[in-house]
Amino acid sequence: DEELFFKDYAESHKKLSELGFRPPGSRPIKSATILAQSAVGVAVAAAVVILSYMYEVRRK
């Protein structure tokens, strides 16, 4: 079973490589990109919290 698994894995990896697929970890990600994505995530979460609070205040 293990031998068959690794054989299938190797074939799949070869096919994906031929198609030009590269896993996300294969290229370096710039710190600025990660920081920007984190900032957007925090901003969205803050907006949801603020809007939820405003909704609850108006409802009462």
Q: Give me the pLDDT at residue 18, please.
A: 81
Buried b (16+ CB within 10 A) or exposed e, 15-49: eeeeeeeeeeeeeeeeeeeeeeeeeeeeeeeeeee
Q: Give me the pLDDT at residue 25, please.
A: 61
DSSP 60: -
What's this model's pTM, rounded to 2 decimal places? 0.48
Q: Give me the pLDDT at residue 17, please.
A: 81
pLDDT in tens, the chain (60 residues): 788 899 999 999 888 888 877 666 666 667 888 889 999 999 999 999 999 999 999 987
Q: Give me the pLDDT at residue 54, please.
A: 94
